[in-house]
Chain A
Amino acid sequence: GDSVTQMEGPVTLSEEAFLTINCTYTATGYPSLFWYVQYPGEGLQLLLKATKADDKGSNKGFEATYRKETTSFHLEKGSVQVSDSAVYFCALSDQWGSTLGRLYFGRGTQLTVWP
């Protein structure tokens, strides 16, 4: 079945450091891929998405490229800020079939950025 594997945290960085959070997926069809962010005490917010191979999603300085050949969707940011401290979830969604719209999540990666 469909599944997502992301690197385990926690990840601790200094401000302005480079961030990579690895995410790989297994899917039978052609999924859409997402990164969600969860700030303390809140629900999940969509950070970025990509719907087909080689698409690059980007938002708030974060980027991720849909790599079909390596089944990956790694999250990157060139210079993190303290305000980026949160839990990040990689997810995939079936695009059709009986489970249309269902999201499969990785276990989340806690990011802490120190000033």
Chain B
Amino acid sequence: DVKVTQSSRYLVKRTGEKVFLECVQDMDHENMFWYRQDPGLGLRLIYFSYDVKMKEKGDIPEGYSVSREKKERFSLILESASTNQTSMYLCASSSQTGTAGYLGAFFGQGTRLTVV
């Protein structure tokens, strides 16, 4: 089975801190994604990546950056955390190749970040 692992289930950080959220997948997937989930808003895409060192902005990239130095790892960085970044963060991965691309994305368990 595909496994997407996020480094933390819960995090509490202070305003202004630099925050790193880590995500690792073990299925050699080309695509990786970071979403945030907020009540009433569903899932919104922050950034995604189709290959190592590649990144694309999603719908709400402001205040975030990403890093993909290895194929299996995709990091989300909050440069200076703010209270409006308190949210559930979900990492996902998917394959590009052939019919496997139709499998959709596989998700990690989520990181609930609270910025105080």
Contact = CB atoms under 8 A, between A and B. Distances in A.
Interface in A33-47: 34, 36, 42-46
B74 interface: no
B11 to A, nearest CB: 15
Query: Which of A44, A89, A93, A95: most chain B Cβ within 10 A?
Result: A44
Interface string B87-103: 00010101110000111
Contacts of B52: none
Contacts of B42: 89, 105-108
Task: Please classify how large the interface on chain A is, using the bins under 10, 10 to 19, 20 to 34, 35 or more.
Answer: 20 to 34
B107 A105 contact: no
How extensive is the interface on chain B, given as a class? 20 to 34
Contacts of A51: 102
A103 interface: yes
Nearest to B109: A43
A22 interface: no
A10 to B, nearest CB: 12
A45 B58 CA distance: 21
A68 interface: no
A32 B50 CA distance: 18
A42 B102 contact: no
A100 B50 contact: yes
Contacts of A32: 102, 104
A42 B4 CA distance: 12
A100 B104 contact: no
A101 interface: yes
B45 A43 contact: no
5 contacts: A46-B106, A101-B95, A101-B101, A102-B58, A107-B41
- Report, nearest first, the 4 A-B pairs whose CB atoms are least far apart: A107-B42, A43-B107, A101-B31, A44-B107
